[in-house]
Amino acid sequence: MFRKKSLLIGINYTGSQHALRGCHKDVENVADFLSYRGYSSDPRDQVILRDDRGGPYYPTGHNMLAAMDWLVSEPNTCCFLHYSGHGGQVPNRDRDSGYDDTIVPVDFERNGQIPSGVLHRHLISRLWPNSTLFVIFDCCHSGSALELPFLFRTDDEGNLNMMSGLQQGMSILDHGYSLISGGFDMSRAADAKQLYSEASSFFKSLSGMGRGNQGPGVSEEHFQNDWSREHKWVCMFSGCRDDQTSADANIGGISEGAMSWSFLQVMKQSPNPTFVETLQMTRSILKRSRYNQVPQLSVGVPELDFNRPLFL
């Protein structure tokens, strides 16, 4: 019998120049959804961090990482994580792009952001092999926020493109070559240069995963694992690609995250959607609502059956 645990984080950055409006509402909506999916609201099973709460429930970087450690701390557990807030990027000399994706604690101006490598070590590397983790990141620059090895996205027609990080790197290189061979001009040269930089970052991340800036509360352990071999049952839906921003939506006069709202709409329309259907339908709802962001699906294992219902 699997235990169910959930961690919900919503940060509006209230009173700051970075204020958002819909993140607290996202947490409330997701908590309601989880109650229908058999998740308990008991504090022993569900932790909620918001910046209108105090003590250990105030979403500082330290508290966020401590809560993530709690989420994945037990075997035989179905873990659920939802984050709604700012996403950012911080410099990382080990990547040709020059940046790591981040999530942004309420105290980031004093103690920094939490980069993708740190998130991976706290959530994926520490996840028990017989547990599962389902993640929704509704924030900007979130496509690689957990640095999972296998990435999937839909095209404008709703078709699912499935590729590992290595295959994606090769695809990017092929596309860069076609840009150059298709005729030279300055815009093509700039596009090709960016594509080659992205491909090189993919290859570097596959061969040297585990590097990156350390965030708040990270131990001095040295992780040198190849994360593509961890084989953890993790699924992440992110609100957009690494190079995109995620929007606030105004639904009936109430501010909500566009990705969170769209995902929950899919759950209402289809109680047991497959992985593929969820990604396609979420993209379709965002597109119909005139949001340009492209949701991503990342997983930790290559053999996941995408035609099965979501494991929640």
Q: What is the pLDDT of residue 149?
A: 82
Q: What is the pLDDT of residue 35?
A: 95
- Could you say which of 23, 78, 79, 86 is catalytic? 86
Instruction: Give the range among 29-38, 91-100, 170-179 with minimum mean pLDDT.
Output: 170-179
Write the burial class of residue 304 (CB in 10 Å: 0-12 exposed, 13-18 middle, 19+ buried). Answer: middle
Q: What is the pLDDT of residue 286?
A: 83
Q: Which of 23-32, 143-152, 208-217 ranks highest by mean pLDDT? A: 23-32
Q: Is 141 one of the annotated active-site residues of the chain?
A: no
- What backbone torsions phi and psi does residue 22 show, to the nearest 5 degrees? -105, 0
216 pLDDT band, cuts 50/70/90, is very low
Q: Is 86 one of the annotated active-site residues of the chain?
A: yes
For the domain made up of 3-164+214-299, give the CATH fold: Rossmann fold (3.40.50)
Asked whether 270 and 283 are in contact (CB, 8 A), the reply is no
DSSP bridge pairs for 135: 81, 236
- Work out the mean pLDDT of the chain and round it to a whole number: 76
Higher-scoring residue by pLDDT: 171, 3: 3
DSSP bridge pairs for 88: 102
Of the chain, the percentage scoring pLDDT greater than 70 comes to 68
Q: What is the pLDDT of residue 129?
A: 93
pLDDT of 175 higher than 80? no
pLDDT of 214 higher than 50? no
Any idea where the domains of the chain sit in the sequence? 3-164+214-299
Task: Give me the helices (H) in 121-257, please.
Answer: 165-181, 186-207
> How does DSSP assign 292-303, residue by residue?
----EEEES-TT
29 pLDDT band, cuts 50/70/90, is very high
- Could you say which of 79, 140, 235, 240 is catalytic? 140
Distance CA 113, CA 102 (A): 6
Which whole number is the average pLDDT over 285-302?
81
pLDDT of 303 higher than 70? yes
Task: Give me the helices (H) in the chain, please.
Answer: 23-36, 61-71, 108-111, 116-120, 165-181, 186-207, 258-269, 275-288
Q: Which of 56-65, 150-159, 260-269 ranks highest by mean pLDDT? A: 56-65
